[in-house]
């Protein structure tokens, strides 16, 4: 049975709490600043927000529940979405159904984390039971280990090269240079990328996302609400999620998108050829390639060829991670699962901070998250359109 | 190729001293099953009693049929290395001190994936490998991908060597060289390349040809040590405690008799004084220095070995008081293990069955020769285990005890062995 469409649900008020490498603030500060940014952008009183979806790794011992009291929000709809890089997409899906069904009128979706000097190590050391029992004790490399294994496998199996991955990273940096909020301000050359310090063979420094502190947020509401408030918005045409896809694969060289992309495009009524830009979850470049393939832009295993045939800058043949992506903006924990969504809303509603994709009508955002053991478990995607 | 461990250079006191750090030791309760097997040198995974599916990482319920009936079963470890990486950055200090590390993703033939250390003799993926379970310096199970053929030793790989306590080039105290076992142990350690072996001598008036022959070993140095005398233990610890890399407790008092065979407690007290209080005295004097030197370069303190007895598992009435003293020592050794584990010093317990010596004369064969016991002891140091049950009788008792401690108790009480 095909899922019901999203009717006139829209996303508005894209907000970024500027990233910093390290912060002395707690996660509550970043999430609180994000909610403050949302009501400022929407020019509404706090009480008009009646729904909240929260994603954060460093909010513990609190959850979304604690945040309501901390921020003084009285809500009739609340969700906590512990899905890392897929959390933003999942929040959209949950929030859209809530406003469609009338359970909430304006849902604030926020994702964010703080980053103290030792918090990344603590987070990875306690990431999941499987990681604690069966991955972290082997060298304590954190996600670097997992993605090195996936990257090495993909390169061997499909003939991708370091230059292919480097081309994506260099293009993202070019995009980031236009984004005033990106933490990386220096241009990156392919030689810089290829000759950077080894982290976990074949990964080098610029393959690895940099942990930082920050938050992202947006509002989900009906089109009529946005128009009444005078807010620019992007329309939600379709969205999918999948958890623990292909458990029998010996190693991850595809994600759940392969199972869901047909449903996504059918729900949205547009196909891959109609997409004007793509925002992927990009903590390491290999996962971008799995998203190109899974979302139907090229066949499985054809990622390297696709990279060689395209250019990925905002003005390129395939505009991609137009704000710079996490690899050039920074990974503010669960904010990373919202970065692409916030950028896509900006692109489609004429509110870009940096370069704008000319005449963009359709943007695709993809999420990927939670290396629970040997592979990423959560995947999702959402298709947005300009008003 | 096997790399010969070289004798460590004399330490330069001006250089940085590496402080003890450990790999992460936190595990879920269910994952400790892997460690329990690895402590005995076995690679076991959970298997579903209902559908037969092998499980990894350890679980509470079957990943296929959701059955709760999972049990640990020995695995052959055969599989394929599908991807590998060499880590040049690590978050934990233990790994950061010892970079780089080779880590692999292995698909076992049983259908599960394991993340494992990769022995440096293993080729590039894809290739066939065999997974072995070892113990890391935290005392937790660590899986290692070994070449499918050739059976190299863990200690051939410089990184994995730290999972062993190889006696080569080490300074070792053997607490009692008077017994047949003590002498065999000293000889076996010398043959395994020990650099220096202090051999404890109690009762100097008691002459023994075997002991005198030990003095001829170039590595041997006889030292006075009476484990029933606190002052003797303290004095020796003061003299050599800061140099001992491995302490092998061979001190043993065995006076075979059962509860009803003899009046009075004096003989049983003597057994306790050597077997239990002797260990306690040694632990109090030597353990603190061992802990302090646990990470001191290549010449660090690494292990403590106790020669216990399989009679410790369940009382063997013909040797009733001896069994009790060894059970007491076993219990204390667990305390010692908990004390030394945070420093990364391994406590290895050997539980031999009857030994072919004067005190087990009336035991029927099979009996373990002192040389075989010594060989098992050296092997346990070269490998990566905590509990060793050398010989056929010990293996038999262990199996019976795992199956049903009550049945073993009853059998030992009614029959001999």
B159-185 per-position pLDDT tens digit: 999 899 999 999 999 999 999 999 999
Q: Tell me which residue has tokens 């390297």.
A: A304
DSSP H/E element including B45: strand B44-48
Indicate the average pLDDT of chain A: 97
Domain ranges, residue A27: 9-118+213-229
d(CA A289, CA B313): 58
Contact A136 B86 (CB under 8 A): no
In chain B, residues 212-271 whose CB comes closer than 8 Å to chain A: none
Please give, rounded to a whole number of angstroms, the shortest distance from the CA of A135 to a CA of chain B. Answer: 6
pLDDT tens-digit map of A195-205 = 999 999 999 99
Number of domains in chain A: 2
Above 90 in pLDDT, residue B413?
Answer: no
Contacts of B95 in chain A (CB under 8 A): 139-141
Same domain, A174 and A278: yes
Q: Which of B163, B182, B210 lies at the terminal end of a domain, its last residue?
A: B163
Same domain, A80 and A165: no
Contacts of A153 in chain B (CB under 8 A): 82-83, 105, 125
Rounded to an integer, the average pLDDT of A83-96 is: 98
Above 80 in pLDDT, residue B415?
Answer: no
Residues in contact with A163: Cβ distance below 8 Å, sequence separation at least 6, in sequence order: A190, A194
Contacts of A121 in chain B (CB under 8 A): 91-92
pLDDT at B1: 41
Same domain, B195 and B320: yes
Same domain, B312 and B362: yes
* Cβ–Cβ contact A120 with B under 8 A: yes
Above 80 in pLDDT, residue B2?
Answer: no
Is A79 strand, coil or helix? strand
Degrees to nearest 5, angle at CA B85 with B83 and B86: 155
Same domain, B96 and B241: no
Contact yes or no for A200/A138 (Cβ under 8 A): no
| Half-sphere CA count of B143, side-chain side, radius 13 A | 31
Domain ranges, residue B273: 171-414
pLDDT tens-digit map of A157-192 = 999 999 999 999 999 999 999 999 999 999 999 999
Above 90 in pLDDT, residue A113?
Answer: yes
Above 60 in pLDDT, residue A281?
Answer: yes
DSSP H/E element including B239: helix B230-240
Same domain, B106 and B146: yes
Percent of chain B with pLDDT over 90: 82
pLDDT at B219: 96
| Half-sphere CA count of B32, side-chain side, radius 13 A | 5
Q: Which of B163, B194, B227 lies at the terminal end of a domain, its last residue?
A: B163
* Cβ–Cβ contact A118 with B under 8 A: no
Rounded to an integer, the average pLDDT of A56-78 is: 97
Contact A149 B57 (CB under 8 A): no
Same domain, B142 and B182: no
* Cβ–Cβ contact A172 with B under 8 A: no
DSSP H/E element including B281: helix B277-292
Q: Tell me which residue has tokens 């992202």.
A: A216
- Residue A128 placed within a domain: no
Same domain, B176 and B54: no
Q: Which of A140, A153, A253 to mutate to test the interface with B (most CBs of B within 10 A)?
A: A140
In chain A, residues 230-259 whose CB comes closer than 8 Å to chain B: 247, 250-251
d(CA B10, CA B380): 27
d(CA B95, CA B136): 12
pLDDT at A1: 74
- Residue B393 placed within a domain: yes
d(CA B350, CA B380): 9
- Residue A3 placed within a domain: no
pLDDT at A186: 97
Q: Tell me which residue has tokens 């023994």.
A: B208
Same domain, B62 and B133: yes
Q: Which of B144, B163, B182 lies at the terminal end of a domain, its last residue?
A: B163
Q: Which residue of A has its CA nearest to B113?
A: A250
* Cβ–Cβ contact B9 with A under 8 A: no
Is B329 strand, coil or helix? helix
Rounded to an integer, the average pLDDT of B270-296 is: 95
Same domain, A180 and A306: yes
Contact B90 A140 (CB under 8 A): yes
Of A121, A124, A200, the CB nearest to B87: A200
Angular region, A197: left φ>0, alpha ψ -120 to 50, beta rest = beta
d(CA A194, CA B74): 45
Task: Characterize the bridge pairing of strands B113-118 and B127-135.
Answer: unpaired
Above 80 in pLDDT, residue B198?
Answer: yes
Of A132, A153, A203, the CB nearest to B82: A153
Is B309 strand, coil or helix? coil
Task: Characterize the bridge pairing of strands A213-222 and B54-55.
Answer: unpaired
Q: Where residue B408 sits, what CATH number does that domain have? A: 3.40.50.720
Above 70 in pLDDT, residue B272?
Answer: yes
pLDDT at B150: 83
Contact B26 A129 (CB under 8 A): no
Above 90 in pLDDT, residue B11?
Answer: no
Please provide residue A337's backbone torsions phi and psi, each rounded to the nearest 5 degrees: -80, 0
pLDDT at B13: 77
Rounded to an integer, the average pLDDT of B340-363 is: 92
* pLDDT confidence band for B209 (50 / 70 / 90): confident
Number of domains in chain B: 2
Q: Where residue A218 sits, what CATH number does that domain have? A: 3.40.47.10
Contact A141 B125 (CB under 8 A): no
Q: Which residue of A has its CA nearest to B114?
A: A134
Q: Which of A229, A264, A281 lies at the terminal end of a domain, its last residue?
A: A229
pLDDT at B160: 93
- Residue B183 placed within a domain: yes
pLDDT at B208: 82
Above 80 in pLDDT, residue A306?
Answer: yes
Same domain, A150 and A256: yes
* pLDDT confidence band for B4 (50 / 70 / 90): low
- Residue B17 placed within a domain: no
Q: Which of A183, A200, A229 lies at the terminal end of a domain, its last residue?
A: A229
**Bridge partners (DSSP) listed for residue A54:** A80, A110
- Residue A1 placed within a domain: no
- Residue A4 placed within a domain: no
Percent of chain B with pLDDT over 70: 98
Above 80 in pLDDT, residue B7?
Answer: no
pLDDT tens-digit map of A8-54 = 999 999 999 999 999 999 999 999 999 999 999 999 999 999 999 99
Q: Which of B105, B110, B126 to mutate to test the interface with A (most CBs of A within 10 A)?
A: B105
Same domain, A222 and A254: no
Contact B57 A141 (CB under 8 A): no
Contacts of B23 in chain A (CB under 8 A): 137, 140
- Residue A123 placed within a domain: no
Contact B103 A145 (CB under 8 A): yes
The two structure tokens encoding residue A241? 């999620």
Same domain, B264 and B211: yes
pLDDT at B363: 85
Contacts of B90 in chain A (CB under 8 A): 139-141
Same domain, A184 and A220: no
Q: Residue A236: which of A4, A31, A78, A38 has the closest Cα? A: A4
Burial of B288 (C-beta count, 10 Å sphere; 0-12/13-18/19+)? middle
d(CA B347, CA B349): 7
In chain B, residues 117-136 whose CB comes closer than 8 Å to chain A: 117, 125, 136
**Lowest-confidence segment of B124-133, B292-301, B308-317 by average pLDDT:** B292-301
- Residue A378 placed within a domain: yes
pLDDT at B414: 80
Contact B82 A133 (CB under 8 A): no
* pLDDT confidence band for B359 (50 / 70 / 90): confident
Same domain, B266 and B358: yes
pLDDT at A11: 98
- Residue B21 placed within a domain: no
Same domain, A217 and A251: no
Neighbours of A387 (CB within 10 A): 14
Of A134, A199, A247, the CB nearest to B115: A134
Neighbours of A291 (CB within 10 A): 25
Same domain, B126 and B78: yes
Please give, rounded to a whole number of angstroms, the shortest distance from the CA of A34 to a CA of chain B. Answer: 30
- Residue B352 placed within a domain: yes
**Lowest-confidence segment of A275-279, B285-289, B364-368 by average pLDDT:** B364-368
Above 90 in pLDDT, residue B315?
Answer: yes
- Residue B6 placed within a domain: no
Above 50 in pLDDT, residue B366?
Answer: yes
Q: Is the dihedral of CA A69, A70, A72, A74 positive or negative?
A: negative
In chain B, residues 138-167 whose CB comes closer than 8 Å to chain A: 138, 140, 142
Same domain, A261 and A375: yes
d(CA A262, CA A217): 28
Same domain, B121 and B89: yes
- Residue A127 placed within a domain: no
- Residue A124 placed within a domain: no
Same domain, A143 and A285: yes
Contact B115 A374 (CB under 8 A): yes
Same domain, B155 and B247: no
Residues in contact with B9: Cβ distance below 8 Å, sequence separation at least 6, in sequence order: none
* Cβ–Cβ contact A125 with B under 8 A: yes
- Residue B22 placed within a domain: no
Above 90 in pLDDT, residue B230?
Answer: yes
pLDDT tens-digit map of A339-353 = 999 999 999 999 999
Same domain, A221 and A246: no
Same domain, A185 and A66: no
Above 70 in pLDDT, residue B38?
Answer: yes
Same domain, A194 and A69: no
Contacts of A246 in chain B (CB under 8 A): none
């Amino acid at each position: 049975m095909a899922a019901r469409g999203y009717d006139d649900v829209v996303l508005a008020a894209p907000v970024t709490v500027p990233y910093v490498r390290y912060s002395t603030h707690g996660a509550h500060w970043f999430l609180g600043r994000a909610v403050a940014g949302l009501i400022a952008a929407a020019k509404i009183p706090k009480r008009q927000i009646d729904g909240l979806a929260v994603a954060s790794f460093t909010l513990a011992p609190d959850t979304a529940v604690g945040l309501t009291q901390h921020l003084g929000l009285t809500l009739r709809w609340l969700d906590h979405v512990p899905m890392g890089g897929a959390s933003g997409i999942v929040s959209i899906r949950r929030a859209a159904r809530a406003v469609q069904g009338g359970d909430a009128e304006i849902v604030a979706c926020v994702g964010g984390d703080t980053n103290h000097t030792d918090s990344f190590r603590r987070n990875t050391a306690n990431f999941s039971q499987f990681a604690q029992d069966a991955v972290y004790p082997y060298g304590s490399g954190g996600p670097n280990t997992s993605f090195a294994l996936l990257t090495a496998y993909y390169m061997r199996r499909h003939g991708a090269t370091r230059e292919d991955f480097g081309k994506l990273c260099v293009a993202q940096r070019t995009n980031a240079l236009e984004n005033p909020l990106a933490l990386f301000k220096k241009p990156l050359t392919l030689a810089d990328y290829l000759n950077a310090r080894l982290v976990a063979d074949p990964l080098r420094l610029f393959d690895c996302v940099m942990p930082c502190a920050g938050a992202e947020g947006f509002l989900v509401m009906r089109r009529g609400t946005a128009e009444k408030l005078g807010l620019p918005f992007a329309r939600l045409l379709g969205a999918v999620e999948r958890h623990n896809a292909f458990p029998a694969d010996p190693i991850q060289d595809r994600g759940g998108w392969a199972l869901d992309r047909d449903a996504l495009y059918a729900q949205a009524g547009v196909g891959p050829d109609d997409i004007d830009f793509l925002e992927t979850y990009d903590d390491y470049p290999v996962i971008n390639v799995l998203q190109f393939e899974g979302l139907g832009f090229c066949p499985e295993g054809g990622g390297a060829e696709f990279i060689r045939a395209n250019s990925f800058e905002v003005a390129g043949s395939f505009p991609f991670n137009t704000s710079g992506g996490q690899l050039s903006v920074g990974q503010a924990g669960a904010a990373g699962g919202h970065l692409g969504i916030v950028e896509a809303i900006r692109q489609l509603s004429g509110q870009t901070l940096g370069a704008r994709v000319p005449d963009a009508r359709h943007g695709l955002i993809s999420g990927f998250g939670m290396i629970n053991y040997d592979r990423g478990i959560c995947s999702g995607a959402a298709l947005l359109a300009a008003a | 190729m096997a790399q010969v461990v070289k004798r460590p250079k004399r330490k330069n006191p001006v250089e940085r001293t590496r402080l003890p750090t450990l790999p992460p030791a936190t595990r879920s309760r269910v994952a400790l099953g892997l460690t329990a097997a690895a402590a005995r040198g076995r690679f076991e995974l959970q298997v579903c009693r209902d559908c037969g599916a092998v499980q990894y990482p350890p679980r509470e319920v079957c990943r296929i049929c959701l059955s709760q009936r999972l049990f640990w079963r020995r695995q052959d470890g055969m599989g394929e290395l599908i991807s590998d990486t060499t880590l040049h950055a690590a978050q934990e200090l233990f790994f950061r001190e010892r970079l780089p590390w080779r880590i692999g993703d292995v698909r076992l033939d049983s259908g599960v994936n394991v993340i494992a250390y990769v022995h440096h003799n293993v080729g590039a993926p894809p290739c066939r490998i065999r997974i072995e379970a070892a113990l890391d310096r935290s005392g937790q199970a660590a899986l290692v991908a070994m070449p499918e053929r050739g059976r190299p030793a863990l200690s051939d790989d410089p990184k994995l060597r730290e999972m062993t306590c190889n006696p080569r080039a080490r300074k070792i105290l053997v607490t009692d060289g008077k017994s047949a076992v003590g002498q065999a142990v000293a000889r076996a350690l010398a043959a395994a390349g020990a650099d220096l072996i202090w051999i404890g001598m109690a009762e100097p008036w008691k002459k023994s040809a075997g002991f005198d022959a030990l003095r001829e070993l170039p590595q041997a140095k006889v030292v006075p040590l009476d484990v029933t005398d606190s002052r003797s233990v303290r004095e020796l610890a003061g003299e050599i405690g800061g140099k001992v890399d491995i302490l092998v407790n061979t001190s043993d008092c065995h006076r075979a008799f059962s509860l009803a065979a003899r009046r009075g407690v004096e003989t049983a007290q003597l057994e306790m004084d050597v077997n239990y209080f002797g260990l306690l005295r040694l632990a109090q004097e030597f353990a603190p220095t061992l802990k302090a030197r646990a990470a001191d370069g290549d010449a660090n303190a690494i292990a403590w070995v106790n020669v216990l007895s399989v009679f410790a598992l369940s009382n063997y009435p013909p040797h009733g008081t001896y069994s009790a003293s060894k059970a007491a020592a076993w219990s204390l050794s667990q305390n010692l293990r908990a004390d030394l584990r945070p420093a990364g010093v391994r406590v290895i317990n050997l539980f031999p069955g009857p030994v072919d010596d004067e005190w087990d004369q009336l035991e029927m064969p099979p009996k373990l020769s002192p040389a075989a016991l010594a060989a098992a002891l050296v092997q346990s140091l070269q490998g990566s285990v905590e509990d060793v049950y050398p010989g056929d009788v010990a293996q038999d008792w262990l199996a019976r005890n795992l199956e049903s401690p009550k049945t073993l108790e009853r059998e030992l009480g009614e029959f001999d062995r």
